[in-house]
Structure 1
Amino acid sequence: MKKIAVLVAGLVAAVSVEPRLSLAADAAEPVKEIMEDTQKNWASDVNDWIDIFEESMLARLYSKDFGDKYKAAAQNPAADEDGISPFDYDVIVNGQDACPLQDLSIESGQPANNATEVTVKFKAATCMEGAPNKDDFTTVRFEVIEENGKSVIDDIMVHGEGGLGPTSLKEIMVLIARGQ
């Protein structure tokens, strides 16, 4: 019992001396929620699409800067015709079509420069017969920061086809807001 108390005291001391350690432990939480919703959206029996940028989610899971850029992009007249999103594609799967997500993994990196990179990999085209990329993994990097004492997503970086990218979603939103 004494060993456990010493271990717990050591962990508490480490987190208070190095607060970035707590960010590393919590960094995946907002990403996990986004990925759970994205999985539900692409499940074969989806009834209602979950908007991962809905107002309450923007306030709770994303940084203020990300939310401001999203809101500015959503004001652009070129926003998606459904009025829901400034994007005409799912920014996580990086496309308009996908299959139920397969082989999903989420891995948190080490904190650096006040951010933690959380890498998500999954297969999104496994049901597309004859597709050349059917078994390819999609990689999405989430930049997670601490804001007001909690971990929030500050940017989403998607790798394009053929190894292109990564592309910053915040940069894309700035361009959309400018009408480009």
Structure 2
Amino acid sequence: MKTFWLLAAVMVLPVQALAADATAPVRDVMAAAEANWAENPGDYQDYFSDKRLASLYSAEFAALYRKAADTPSAKEMGSPFDWDVIVNGQDGCPLKNLSIEAARPEGGVTRVTAKFQGLTCFGTDPEYQAYSETYFNVIEEKGRAVIDDIQTPMENELLSIRNELTAQISSQ
């Protein structure tokens, strides 16, 4: 009888409750961004450290990043990127009013939006008080939620970090 009730309870749980939390890897990356952009930052937290690549990103994204990081230009710069791809900038302020929200999954991908103010220390003008958004395409891989792409709005288009990595590899 216990088995029946346990099975019945599992069947009435929402399907999403059984799925991996799509916001978990994004929260980890955004915590690193908050630490990196803090008023008194400690040691830099690499969004793409070996530990994070192995635990927060899809196998395909991690392989692309490692391959791009192995190019001569990335080795010279110390990274495939010369800007912070999470906050989409080279200059900024401590992040304020961060929110992280997952949309409904579509085609096996959940878009998680991180919204924040990242320029408030530059002044009170509306442009400095505006919110920025970074989009994370999260998939489930081996039973856990992992980031498969990061996208930021740039000049009325979405800049895909996967596409940037692929372009860097192709140009070498």
TM-score by length of 2: 0.88
- Residue in structure 2 matched with residue 89 of structure 1 by the alignment: 83
Q: Count the aligned residue pairs.
A: 168
Which residues in structure 2 correspond to 1:93-172 (within 5 Å)?
Answer: 93-129=87-123, 133-161=127-155, 164-172=156-164
Gaps of 5+ in 1: 1-5
CA distance in 1, matches of 2:101, 2:12: 22
In the aligned structure 1, how far is the partner of 2:66 from the partner of 2:164?
Answer: 13
Partners of 1:101 and 1:124 within 8 A in 2: yes
Could you say if the C-alpha distance between residues 81 and 132 of structure 1 is closer, same or farther in structure 2, counting changes exceeding 3 Å? farther
In structure 1, distance between residues paired with 2:12 and 2:80? 43
Shift of 1:34: 0.5
Deviation at 1:100, TM superposition (A): 0.2
Secondary structure of 2:114's aligned partner = strand
RMSD over aligned Cα, in angstroms? Answer: 2.4
The aligned counterpart of 2:49 is 54
Asked whether the equivalents of residues 104 and 121 of structure 1 are also in contact (C-alpha less than 8 Å), the reply is yes
Q: Which residue of 1 aligns with 2:166?
A: 174
Aligned-partner SS, 1:68: helix
* Distance in 2 between residues matched to 1:131 and 1:49, nearest whole Å: 29
Gap regions ≥5 residues in structure 2: none
Q: The residue matched to 2:36 in structure 1 has which SS?
A: helix
